[in-house]
Structure 1
Amino acid sequence: MRGLTHRIVLVVAVLVVPACTAPVKPVPGKPVAPVMMFVGDSFTVGSGPVPRWESYASQTARLLGWQPIIAGAGGTGYCNEGRAGRTFQRSFEVELAWRPAPDVLVISGGHNDRRWSPVQVRQAAEGLLAKVRAHWPGTRTVMIGPIWLGEAPSRAYGVRDALAEAAKAGKVPFFDPMRERWPQGAILPDGVHPTLAGHESIAGWLAARLA
């Protein structure tokens, strides 16, 4: 009986070890989709009835045929740590920086930074852009300003302008959602966050600019 058990163990070892040690090879001729990463707030990661895989970030990647990796948390911003206890820069450091460089990085937000001065917001944004550039010098980076699907409060414009200045100084494209007119039915009953249709509209808008 012991001899039989010994032989069974040897057979299992022969079958299992090569499967664990053999390198994974790409499928010949299969194209590798570009990778796009996002850092953002609840608009980017999803909120309410809209999960992460249906957020505008995921939908933008699907429209372009790219692979999305989404980082961030609701309530966060360039200065605002929110309940997650981290800014966009910290989200970049702990969720993205250890990964291989993507083809595109989208930094989206500012909605939650209205309690800070435009100077503070601009400095925080410039610091994040400098860190990204130093870490991933070959990655294309774009910034999206605060997303307001309805009428924005006056302080939101100061944040928007500060981020536009930071993007210009960092020589990265800046996309301004506050200049757009969004369709009816784009906002949830909370008056802030997008419905699924709202996320679809944002995704179509962003994909057209990234394409």
Structure 2
Amino acid sequence: MKFSGLLFQFVVVAALLFSCKSENKENASDKVINNPAEAKAPAEKRKTIVFFGNSLTAAYGLDDPQQGFVGLIQKRIDSLGLNYKVINAGVSGETTSGGNSRIDWLLKQPLDVFILELGGNDGLRGIPVSETKRNLQAILDKVHAKYPEAKRVLAGMQIPPNLGRKYASDFREVYADVAKKNDITLIPFLLEGVGGEAKLNLPDGIHPTAEGHKILAENVWVIIKDLL
């Protein structure tokens, strides 16, 4: 009888403990369900910035391409904790015509910000301004058609008056006209503060040194920072 009594008490205590444990587990489950804000949110997908250009974008002549203005923009973005990935789509020697042929392949990957830096080689080769303008517009149209929500930026370029002052003037105006027509952001002159400065350019007098690229990066950053 004494053993039976002890057995009965043990069964009762075990039942109570099991009941409490089950209740706590249910309460914990309710807490997760009723407080979704406490659940860990998935990491936000990084947005993509594409720099589409020529040797300036590609950082021609530098030992480390990351010293170019595009690489410096990525470092600035990372230092500020902004959730953007920079893609350097620069090809040395690229003209606007070549860019127009290449853009379809590039648009196979999604993008959120598109920065167009082309035309300098057109100017150096004396390509008709009307052709440069037509190609820039075609590239921008293709980007907008594929990714209508993407922000577009046009990097302005100027050339010395070797081919005549009218050609140089018309060439400079192309960028302002295209930017205005498309209602997009314009970097007035990518090489501001660098073009024509011997100490900031490589011996060819065209491509910036690492120090020159730091200035280019600032020229770009002051324009695009608000877009990000």
Select 1:159's aligned residue among 161, 171, 185: 171
Query: Which residue does 1:60 correspond to in 2?
Result: 73
1:69 aligns with 2:87: yes
1:125 aligns with 2:149: no
1:169 aligns with 2:213: no
Question: C-alpha displacement at 1:76, in angstroms?
Answer: 1.1
CA gap 1:43/1:152 in 2 versus in 1, 3 angstroms: farther
SS in 1 for 2:96: coil
**TM-score of the pair, normalised by structure 2:** 0.68
- Aligned partners of 2:62 and 2:68 also within 8 Å: no
Question: C-alpha displacement at 1:140, in angstroms?
Answer: 0.2
Larger Rg: 2
**d(CA) in 1 for partners of 2:51 and 2:190?**
19
**d(CA) in 2 for partners of 1:191 and 1:37?**
27
Select 1:108's aligned residue among 93, 117, 123: 117
Q: Which amino acid aligns with 1:165?
A: D
Select 1:139's aligned residue among 150, 153, 159: 150
SS in 1 for 2:199: coil
Query: Which residue does 2:13 correspond to in 1?
Result: none
Select 1:37's aligned residue among 50, 57, 62: 50
**TM-score of the pair, normalised by structure 1:** 0.73
Query: Which residue does 2:5 correspond to in 1?
Result: none
Tell me which stretches of 4 or more aligned residues in structure 1 moved more than 6 Å.
Answer: none
CA gap 1:104/1:138 in 2 versus in 1, 3 angstroms: same
Q: CA RMSD in A?
A: 2.4
- Range 67-76 or range 104-113, more displaced: 67-76
- Aligned partners of 1:36 and 1:61 also within 8 Å: no
